[in-house]
A and B are shown apart, each in its own frame.
Chain A
Amino acid sequence: MTEQGVGARLLRKEDDRFMRGRGQFVADLRFAGMQDVAFVRSPLAHAYIREIAVPDAHKGAVFSAADLVNVKPIRAVSGLRGFKPSDQPSLATGKVRYVGELVAMCLAPTRAEAEDVAAAVTLDLEELPAVYDMLSAREPNSAQLHEHWGDNVFLETFVDVNIDQAMDAPIKVTREIRTARQCMAPIEGRGVVAIWDSRLEQLTIYSACQMPHIIRTGLAGCLGLDEGQIRVIAPDVGGGFGYKGILLAEEVCLGWLAMHCGHPVRWIEDRREHLTAGANCREHYYRITGYADRDGRLVGIDCEATVDSGAYSAYPFSACLEAAQIASILPGPYDFPSYRCRTYSVATNKCPILPYRGVARTGVCFALELVLDAIAREVGVEPHEVRAKILARPEQMPFVNITKKKFDSGDYPESLRRAVAAIDVPAVRARQEGGEPDDRMIGVGFATYCEQAAHGTSVYHGWGIPMVPGFEQATARLTPDGGLELRVGVHSHGQGLETTLAQVAHEILGIDVSKIKVVHGDTAMTPYSTGTWGSRCMVMAGGAVSVACKELAHRACKIGAQLLQTEVANVNLRGGEVTGPHGSIALSEIARTWYLQPQNLPSDVDMGGLEATIGYRPNPDSGTFSYATHAALVAVDPEIGTVEILDYVIVEDGGKLVNPMIVDGQIFGGYAQGIGTALYEEMPFNSAGQPLASTFADYLLPGPTEVPAPRLDHMETLAPHTEFGIKGLGEGGAIAPPAAIANAVNDALHPLRAQLFNSPITPRQVLEAIAQAGRSPT
Chain B
Amino acid sequence: MKPARFSYVRPADLAAAVALGSRDDVLVKFLAGGQSLGPMLNLRLVQADVLVDITAIAELKRVEETPDSLTIGSCVTHADIEDGRVPEVTGGMLRAVAGGIAYRAVRNRGTIGGSLVHADPSADWISALAALGAEAIVRDARRERRVPVEALMAGVFECNLVPGELLSGIRVPRLSPGARWGYYKSCRKAGEFAHAIGSYLCDPDRSVCRAVIGATGSKPIVFTDATPLFGGATGAQDGIDRSLVVQAMAAQGLTDPIEQQIHFACLRRAIAQANQS
A interface list, Cβ under 8 A from B = 110-112, 115-116, 119, 270-272, 639-642, 679-680, 695, 697, 700, 702-703, 705-706, 762-764, 767-768, 771
Decide yes or no: A706 and B190 within 8 Å by CB, A115-B2, A639-B265 being known contacts. Answer: yes
Contact: A111 with B258, CB < 8 Å? no
- 14 A/B residue pairs, CB under 8 Å, sorted by A: A112-B2, A115-B2, A271-B1, A272-B43, A640-B186, A640-B261, A640-B265, A640-B266, A700-B188, A703-B189, A706-B190, A763-B188, A763-B195, A763-B262
* B53: min CB distance to chain A, Å: 19
Task: Answer whether residue B13 sits at the interface, using C-beta atoms and an 8 A cutoff.
Answer: no
Known: A640-B265, A706-B190. 11 other contacts (CB 8 A): A110-B2, A111-B2, A119-B4, A695-B39, A695-B43, A697-B193, A700-B192, A703-B189, A763-B188, A767-B262, A771-B258
B1's partner among A119, A272, A640 (CB-CB below 8 A) is A272
Closest Cβ of chain A to B36, distance in Å, is: 10
The CB with the most chain A CB atoms within 10 A, among B4, B195, B258, B266, is that of B258
Task: Determine the chain A residues whose CB is within 8 A of the CB of B143 once the complex forms.
Answer: none
B1, A767: Cβ atoms under 8 Å? no
Known: A112-B3, A272-B43. A767 touches B190 (CB 8 A): no
- Which single residue of chain A is at the shortest CB-CB distance from B266? A640
Q: Are A680 and B188 in contact (CB under 8 A)?
A: yes
Q: Give the shortest distance, in Å, between A754 (CB) and chain B (any CB).
A: 13
A641-B262 in contact (CB<8A): yes
Q: Is B196 an interface residue (CB 8 A)?
A: yes
Cα separation A181 to B100 with both chains bound (whole Å): 30
A contact residues around B257 at 8 Å (CB): 771
- Set of chain A residues within 8 Å of B206, measured between Cβ atoms: none
What separation, in Å, do the CA atoms of A700 and B189 have in the docked complex?
8
In the bound complex, residues from chain B placing their C-beta under 8 Å from that of A764 are 258
- What is the CB-to-nearest-CB distance from B11 to chain A, in angstroms, rounded to a whole number? 25
Contacts of A706 in B (CB 8 A): 189-190
CA distance A613 to B261 in the complex (A): 66
Query: How many residues from B make CB contacts under 8 Å with A?
Result: 23
By a CB distance below 8 angstroms, the chain A residues around B39 are 695
The 6 residue pairs across chains A and B that have the minimum distance between CB atoms: A112-B2, A270-B1, A705-B190, A639-B265, A767-B258, A640-B186
Say yes or no for B142: interface residue by CB 8 A criterion. Answer: no
| Cross-chain contact of B186 among A703, A705, A763 (Cβ < 8 A) | A763
Which one of B5, B188, B261 contacts A116 once the chains associate, using CB atoms below 8 Å?
Answer: B5
- List residues of chain B with CB within 8 A of the CB of A640: 186, 196, 261-262, 265-266
> Does B191 make an interface contact (CB < 8 A)?
yes
Verify if B242 is at the interface (C-beta below 8 Å from A): no
Question: Do B265 and A762 touch across chains, with their CB atoms under 8 A apart?
Answer: no
Q: Which of B188, B190, B261 is the one whose CB lies under 8 Å from A639? A: B261
Closest to A697 in B: B193
Chain A residues with CB under 8 Å of B258's CB are 641, 764, 767-768, 771
Residues of chain B from 257 to 277 with CB closer than 8 A to chain A in the complex? 257-258, 261-262, 265-266
- Which residues on the A side are within 8 Å of B85 (C-beta)? none
Q: Mark B1-21, 1 if CB is under 8 A from A, else 0.
A: 111110000000000000000
Residues on B with beta carbons closer than 8 Å to the beta carbon of A697: 192-193
- Distance A271 CA – B3 CA, assembled complex (angstroms): 14
Most chain A CB atoms below 10 A, which of B186, B196, B266: B186
Task: Select from chain B the residue with minimum beta-carbon distance to A702.
Answer: B189
B244-268 to A contact mask, C-beta < 8 Å, 1/0: 0000000000000110011001100
Q: Does B44 contact A (CB under 8 A)?
A: yes
A residues near B196, Cβ cutoff 8 Å: 640
With both beta carbons as reference points, the residue of chain A lying nearest to B184 in the complex is identified as A640
Question: Quick one: closest A residue to B261, CB to CB?
Answer: A767
Q: Which residue of B lies closest to A643 (CB)?
A: B188
In the complex, which residues 135-191 of chain B have their Cβ closer than 8 Å to any Cβ of chain A?
A: 186, 188-191
Give the Cβ gap from A270 to chain B, nearest Cβ, in Å: 4
Q: Once the chains are docked, how many angstroms separate the CA of A149 from the CA of B63?
A: 70
- B186 / chain A contacts, CB cutoff of 8 Å: 640, 642, 763
Min CB distance B270 to A, Å, is 12
> Once the chains are docked, how many angstroms separate the CA of A762 from the CA of B186?
12
**Closest chain A residue, CB of each to CB of B190:** A705
Interchain nearest-CB distance for A638 vs B (Å): 10
Known: A270-B1, A640-B265. A703 touches B43 (CB 8 A): no
In the complex, the answer to whether A762 meets B266 with C-beta atoms within 8 Å is no
Q: In the assembled complex, which residues on chain A have CB atoms less than 8 Å from the CB atom of B262? A: 639-641, 763, 767
Q: Which residues of B contact A110 (CB under 8 A)?
A: 2
B191 CB contacts on chain A under 8 angstroms: 703
| CB proximity of B216 to chain A, nearest CB, Å | 15
The closest CB in chain B to the CB of A110 belongs to B2
Residues in A whose Cβ lies below 8 Å from that of B44: 115, 119
Q: How many Å from the CB of A640 to the closest CB on chain B? A: 5
A116: chain B residues within 8 A (beta carbon): 4-5
| A112-B5, A640-B262 known; A762 vs B193 contact (CB < 8 Å) | no
A298–chain B nearest beta-carbon distance, Å: 34
Bound Cα distance from A558 to B80, whole angstroms? 72
- A679 to B262, alpha carbons, bound, how many Å? 18
Alpha-carbon separation in the docked complex, A112 to B39 (Å): 14
B192 contacts across to A, CB distance below 8 A: 697, 700
Q: Interface centre among B4, B39, B189, B191, by most A CB within 10 Å?
A: B189
> In whole angstroms, what is the CA distance A57 to B194 when docked?
45
Q: Which A residues touch B4, using CB under 8 A?
A: 112, 115-116, 119
Contact mask for chain B residues 187-213; partner A; CB cutoff 8 A; 1 contact, 0 none: 011111101100000000000000000
Are the C-beta atoms of A762 and B188 separated by less than 8 Å?
yes
Report chain B residues within 8 Å CB of A768: 258
Residue on A nearest B103 in the bound complex, by CB:
A703
- Please indicate the chain A residues that have their CB under 8 angstroms from the CB of B43 in the complex: 272, 695
Chain A hits for B189, CB < 8 A: 680, 700, 702-703, 705-706
> Counting chain A CB atoms within 10 Å of each CB, which of B1, B39, B261 scores highest?
B1
Query: Which B residues touch A119, using CB under 8 A?
Result: 4, 44
Q: What B residues does A703 contact at CB under 8 A?
A: 189-191
- A115–B42 CA distance with the chains assembled, in angstroms: 11
A470 to B: closest C-beta gap in Å: 42
A771 to B189, alpha carbons, bound, how many Å?
23
Q: Which residues of A contact B190 (CB under 8 A)?
A: 703, 705-706
Q: Once bound together, how far apart are the Cα atoms of A639 and B266, in whole Å?
A: 9
Whole-angstrom distance between the alpha carbons of A642 and B196 in the complex?
12
In the assembled complex, the CB of B133 is this many whole angstroms from the nearest CB of chain A, namely 27
Give the complex CA separation of A16 and B262 in angstroms.
48
Give the complex CA separation of A763 and B266 in angstroms: 14
State A695–B196 Cα separation when bound (angstroms).
20
- CB-nearest residue of chain B to A701: B189
Chain A's nearest CB lies how many Å from the CB of B187? Answer: 8
Within the complex, what minimum Cβ distance (angstroms) separates A38 from chain B? 8
**Nearest-Cβ distance from residue B104 to partner chain A, whole angstroms:** 12
What is the distance, in angstroms, from A753's C-beta to the closest C-beta of chain B? 18
| Distance to closest chain A CB from B183 (angstroms) | 15
